[in-house]
Amino acid sequence: MQRLRARLARSQTSLGRGLLSVLARDRLDEDAWEEIEEALLTADVGIRPTTEIVERLRNRTQVLGTRDPAQLRSLLAEELVTALQPELDRTLRTIPSTDQPSVVLVVGVNGTGKTTTCGKLARVLVADGRTVLLGAADTFRAAAADQLQTWGARVGADTIRGPEGGDPASVAFDAVRVGRERGVDTVLIDTAGRLHTKVGLMDELGKLKRVIEKHGPIDETLLVLDATTGQNGLTQARVFTEVADVTGVVLTKLDGTAKGGIVISVQRELGVPVKLIGLGEGADDLAPFDPVEFVDALLG
């Protein structure tokens, strides 16, 4: 928790402290509510969730007529947690069945942190006693497979790769085949983030999926999003949720932004559970996403 607080320091300073200082005023007048709204929008919470949070908070403070800072903080925290849809199941589907490894496909735009996330996730699983095989299905970017292999060597996972410029689907197919033969627990497949056109992306991901599913179902499709790209990233993310059966979101680079409110926006707009958050470039900088813990860290 202390670590999460430290990593969210930038968001905490700009959003958490800002909101709490307005709520601590003697009077919550129209200007104060506008400032709260502005702070949420500036932190990338998005228009719809901001309006809902402010409306509910306003009603509840009026009904209770409270000026107690601790109570106001907890009302605010409750509303932020509610906006993060705490009822969603955020468990990673990485438990292998008896004859088949669990298969995790990692998708998203280039540069969002897919390869890094594969490495970090492999590390978490290996530390948990699982065997992991990495599939380097990003065959377009010259260094991508090297980068994944380096992560694999670091965390104790082998990497299956194909020739540069080769067919990503065939690498993914091989990775699952080898994973099966070796009896590994989880196969993590890193993909290329080529969002040239929606149709192109659909063809590419569709083929990957069809080919992998010759072995069996894909257990988890994780969409990696860069928190620092804000509402733009969200627009791109929508395309992915439309073309791939995304089962979870990984929001990376939350350490590098003052706009931690993007998590609320992503959660509300995509409706897919945010399952993991990236809090740095290091191997241990991946955390499960817990709405209550996150809001607590955000409010400091």
Q: What share of the chain is helix, strand, coil (3-state, %, to 5)?
A: 55, 15, 30
Rounded Cα distance between 250 and 114, Å, is 9
> How far apart, in whole angstroms, are the C-alpha atoms of residue 158 and residue 3?
30
Q: Which residues contact 241 (CB under 8 A, 6 or more apart)?
A: 223, 270, 272
Task: Decide whether 35 or 190 has the Cβ nearer to ligand GDP.
Answer: 190
CB of 176 to ligand GDP, least distance (A): 20
Nearer CB in complex with ligand GDP: 16/193: 193
Asked if residue 14 binds ligand GDP (CB under 6 A), the reply is no
The 159-198 site mask, x for binding ligand GDP (CB under 6 A), equals ----------------------------------x-----
* Plot region of 284 (φ>0 → left; ψ -120 to 50 → alpha; else → beta): alpha
Query: In angstroms, what is the minimal distance from the CB of 32 to ligand GDP?
Result: 34
**H or E stretch covering 108:** none
Contact between 115 and ligand GDP by CB under 6 A: the answer reads yes
Q: Which residue is nearest to ligand GDP (CB)?
A: 278
Binds ligand GDP (CB under 6 A): choice among 102, 116, 159, 229? 116
Identify the residue whose tokens are 């409270």: 66
Distance (Å, whole) CA 78 – CA 82: 6
Under the binding rule (CB under 6 A), the answer on residue 150 touching ligand GDP is no
> What residue numbers does the annotated binding site for GTP cover?
108-115, 190-194, 252-255
Chain contacts with ligand GDP (rule: CB under 6 A): 108, 110-116, 193, 252-253, 255-256, 278-281, 285
